[in-house]
Structure 1
Amino acid sequence: MPEEPLTPARILEATEDVLRRFGPAKATVVDVARALGVTHGSVYRHFPSKTALREAVTERWLDQETGTLDAIAGEPGPADERLSRWLETLFAFKRRKAGRDPELFATYLVLAGEASETVERHIATLVAQLARVLADGRDAGAFSLPDEDPVVSARAVFHASARFHDPAYAAHWSAPGADADFAALRALILNSLRPGP
């Protein structure tokens, strides 16, 4: 059976396994190479440094839900329903990641703190998705935005809902009442965006 070619995707999968086993402080490129059965030089041909590898792993993890959220933001239909579904989907993704693989989730907390450019790009993508929904709602008369630029309102919505997507709050996501708290916040956001009388 021919050996599977070494690809960035294979390296990133192996890196996740190594991080899960050893944690971010102890995991090395040599460990990743050993898990793949290659030399560490082979890994460096795809990722020039340990930092680049860790940033790529973080980016891969953060971007796992981006496509689904982008589809929700861009689909036709009432903006309030799209915004509601977008917020709910983001919370569900983050909650599922934290619950399914807590060791790797804890590792990503560390990596996300180190890879600030990667995290900032991810946040900018999410804010742009929100801005598209808010602009559509404004243009349809469903939303009244306090600023001409929908990105300003999108950032406000993103930050207001941080308790339900920022990994720093992961411990609260499975607490009793978390779903009710999320529903109350979502209703508050939607009601605050609707035009006044």
Structure 2
Amino acid sequence: MSPTSETLTTERILETTEEVLRRHGPAKATVVDVARALGVSHGSVYRHFRTKAALREAVTKRWLDRTSAALAGIVAEDRDPQARLRDWLRGLFDAKRRKAGDDPELFATYMVLTGESGAAVPEHIADLVAQLTRIVEAGVAAGTFATADAEGTARAVFHATGRFHDPCYAAEWTRPGVEEDFAALVDLVVRGLRA
């Protein structure tokens, strides 16, 4: 076993796959390209990911999980649920906008990959709705929000704010007035939830 293959980890493969995708795009990036960039045989990569589709799914999940992880801290905070809801929605909008604006080539690549994704996107959405549900439940427990169905309410909030986090709206995120539109919608949502 070569020293390179001894240190081959799933995380290292995913990081390298992301770089290969950035360089070649999803149509031309292959497992052989990833293996070459790692200095290992493609069989070494296949020992971690059984198929090219599994590798692409894992790199997509990793990309989406970064957003969920960043927002989890807001959910865990012990403070006013209205402020947490506002901060969570702001955090989601900012995270998605950064992904679209900071690395447009990789964002375009991930748009293709999320379209191919089996479970990564639905799991990501379920995780985000679960985070929102915890914030709504905290608001109900504090007497701040009035709802009998925290999960249904969280799902409705998630879908109502889609213009500010669904990647299909990415072109709108830099247009004039988007900040005002976002603030108006968040105010409406928070007022609608108040007890």
TM-score (norm. length: structure 1)? 0.94
2:58 to 46, 56, 59: 56
Deviation at 1:23, TM superposition (A): 1.2
Q: Percent identity?
A: 61
Q: Which residue does the alignment assign to 1:189?
A: 189
Q: Which runs of 5+ in 2 are unaligned?
A: none
Q: Which residue does the alignment assign to 1:154?
A: 154
Deviation at 1:144, TM superposition (A): 1.1
3-state SS of 2:134 partner: helix
1:104-135 CA-partner distances (Å, limit 9, x unpaired): 00111111111141111111111011001101
The residue type equivalent to 1:192 in the other structure is G
Q: Distance in 2 between matches of 1:116 and 1:91?
A: 24
Q: Distance in 1 between matches of 2:134 and 2:84?
A: 10
**Which has the larger displacement, 62-71 or 37-46?**
62-71
**Aligned-residue CA RMSD in angstroms?**
1.2
The residue type equivalent to 1:39 in the other structure is S
1:31-67 CA-partner distances (Å, limit 9, x unpaired): 1111111110010011110011000000000001222
**Which has the larger displacement, 158-167 or 108-117?**
108-117
Deviation at 1:187, TM superposition (A): 0.6
Name the count of aligned residue pairs. Answer: 192
Q: Which residue does the alignment assign to 1:34?
A: 36
Task: State how 1:139-150 maps to structure 2 within 5 Å.
Answer: 139-145=141-147, 148-150=148-150
Q: Which runs of 5+ in 1 are unaligned?
A: none
Q: Which aligned runs of 4 or more in structure 1 are off by greater than 6 angstroms? A: none
The residue type equivalent to 2:149 in the other structure is D
1:148-168 CA-partner distances (Å, limit 9, x unpaired): 331100000000011111111
